[in-house]
Structure 1
Amino acid sequence: MPYAKPNPVVVAPDALAQLAAYCHEHGHTHLLIVADANTDRALGRKLEATLLAAGLDVRKVILHGEEIIADAARVYQVMLALDGTPRALVAAGSGTITDITRFVSHRARLPFLSAPSAPSVDGFASVGAPMLIDGVKISLPTHAPAAIFADLDVNAAAPRAMIAAGFADILGKFTSVADFRLGHLLRDERYDETIAQRTYDVARVCQVNAEAIGQATPASIALLMDALVESGLCILDFGDSASASGAEHHLSHFWEML
């Protein structure tokens, strides 16, 4: 079944100002920003200042550690930062921060907004939260963000390794779409050619623009972020991640467990 999709999706230099306006329009006057030390420097402080200047009640929790993992300890840390006031949770980060925030907001029945700090994954629009539970990587059902606001300047300035990760995630759609089609042909698994083509198209666009993405020009980073979000929207429209997550994801999850 298809899921509710984030609306709007903003990739622009003034995305944070638009996030503040969105919060006012939708009654999200109390917010909790979730970040780690790196994403706080890159985005969290700017986001916090923007929201405070807009007259919103803002709290922030910063996850510290050499490596931030989406696990029970991090979930507990975010839960402790909730003060009893109903707050919309804002993920100021990339994949892991988004997954932790998504999981907590879903279980606490609180609104969830995404403010990506790097174009590194296609999971910003996802409903699944990959969590490490007792040493095993499990994707838990949650919800998509109500809206996505990606500051283009922040994302263009992201570490090149993070940009490369997002580009590689998109290139993986060539094989995931092939697996999607093979599953239908060989095992009669559910399939949608429109979803497959949409997913393939974003991979092709990024492949053609690989050199510009490698240079992290604002226009190319906007293209990459749009592609990552579109891949996630395909998952929501199809109601399953098969188009965007094939054998390559099984391998990556296995390596993360080692």
Structure 2
Amino acid sequence: MASEEHIIDLPKRIYVGNGIIDKLHEYFYQLNSLSPFLIITGHNIRKIVVSKILDEIGNIESNIEVEEVEEANIDEATRIEEIAKKMNTNTIIGVGGGKSIDIAKYTAFRLNKDFISIPTAPSHDGITSPFASIKGLGKPVSMKAKGPMAIIADIDIMSSAPKRLINAGIGDTVGKIVAVRDWRLAAKLRGEYYGDYTASLALLSAKHALNCTKIINRDLKYGVRLLTEALISSGVAMGMAGSTRPASGSEHLFAHAVEMLYPNSALHGELVGIGTIIMAYIHGIKWKEIKRALARIGFPLTAKELGIPREIVIKALTIAHTIRPERYTILGDRGLTWSSAEKIAKDTGIID
């Protein structure tokens, strides 16, 4: 039987290096990027990075607009889409963290325009993936967006991000250990498509993130480069799979459940790191090793350190399986009971 068509959409170019923000005009020439350009960014990032970008792109093009976004929600997305239509933009550039890049890639997808990703912190794998988290569209899960035509990751800029954001990126990437295990389980029990190569790429990202915990305290820039490349390969794995499966499993369902129950309490990558420890415990895989690795970098490893009530952690574990009922994981169709969720959270040291 002929297999169903599978389209893999990958970046045209990935630029990683120290001080490469100064070469933007050269990169845009190589990419043959078309104006008008719309830059999506945040307020703080605009002050630090965007002025430099404007100087560089301005060498080849003056038709540029910059828009700041506060949140990655549907209202902001709609506002940016209208601006992009009015200026008839051809290239949308996301500069910053998750919010700016998510809005940029979502707008590019909606209008079928080129998207260039210029991350300023290695806090998540959304810098590469063709999926975006946009609030206000129902449950907090990723939706289809535009994969980047190019990624320009300046390690000098990314390593100057707050340590908490860097650690969150490590937490997000380590989660692939559980995501791939869940994906394999779904393939066995539900006959779901499973890509061996794609899964291996996601696991390689997680391995690099674990190695990063041994390096980053003594060599920040080398550690951030290793993490950035791991985040990029994780995003590429999603592009190859055509879904978030290689990078998002039960550990992400737990993170999303906490975000629903107790919004704005912790960074996404922090919750994924905690979720990874819990779900690795349920899977019967190296949860203590993961916890030790995260402890090395000062990662918050308890609900108390994250400022989350213990009841929220337990409740999140009992409802996590309902976040994406179509996505089978170790949590199954029925999820965890309150008592089993409490025991697991205690056994792993997440709650007292």
**TM-score between both structures, scaled by the size of structure 1:** 0.90
Pairing 1:140–2:147 present: no
Q: Corresponding residue for 2:27?
A: 22
Measure the CA separation in 2 of the matches of 1:152 and 1:96: 20
- Give the 3 Å change call, closer, same or farther, for CA 136–209 of structure 1 in structure 2: closer
Q: Which stretch shifts more, 133-142 or 185-194?
A: 133-142
Partner of 1:34: 40
Q: Cα distance 1:185–1:27, how it changes in 2: closer, same or farther (>3 A)?
A: closer
Amino acid at match of 2:18: P
Task: Check conservation: 2:129, 2:235, Cα contact below 8 A.
Answer: yes
Equivalences for 1:100-249 in 2 at 5 Å? 100-133=103-136, 136-214=139-217, 217-249=220-252
Deviation, 1:14, is 3.9
What does residue 92 of structure 1 align with?
95
Unaligned runs of 5+ residues in structure 2 are 1-5, 262-352
Taking the aligned partners of 1:97 and 1:200, their CA distance within structure 2 comes to 27
Structure 2 CA distance for partners of 1:36 and 1:226, relative to 1, 3 Å = same
The letter for the 2-side match of 1:9 is I
Larger Rg: 2
| Matches of 1:138 and 1:48, distance apart in 2 | 33
Structure with more strand by fraction: 1
TM-score (norm 2): 0.67
Alpha-carbon displacement from aligned partner over 1:85-113 (angstroms, at most 9, x marks no partner) = 33311100122211111111111222110
- The answer for the alignment partner of 1:77 in structure 2 is 79
Shift of 1:177: 1.4
Does structure 2 conserve the Cα–Cα contact (< 8 Å) formed by 1:33 and 1:48? no
Aligned-pair Cα RMSD in Å: 1.9
Q: How many residues of Structure 1 are paired with residues of Structure 2 in the alignment?
A: 254
Alpha-carbon distance, 1:56 to partner? 4.0
Once residues 97 and 66 of structure 2 are traced to their aligned partners in structure 1, the CA distance between those partners, rounded to angstroms, is 16
Judge which range, 192-201 or 30-39, deviates more. Answer: 192-201
**Which structure 1 residue ranges, 5 or more long, are not aligned?**
none
Query: Are the equivalent residues in 2 in contact too, given 1:42–1:154 (CA < 8 A)?
Result: no
| Higher mean C-alpha deviation, range 130-139 or range 199-208 | 130-139
2:58 partner SS: helix
Structure 1 window deviating more from structure 2 (221-230 vs 126-135): it is 126-135
Over 3 Å counting, the alpha-carbon distance change for 1:163 and 1:107 in structure 2 is same
Change over 3 Å in CA distance of 1:69–1:216 after alignment to 2: farther
Q: 4+ residue runs of structure 1 moved beyond 4 angstroms? A: none
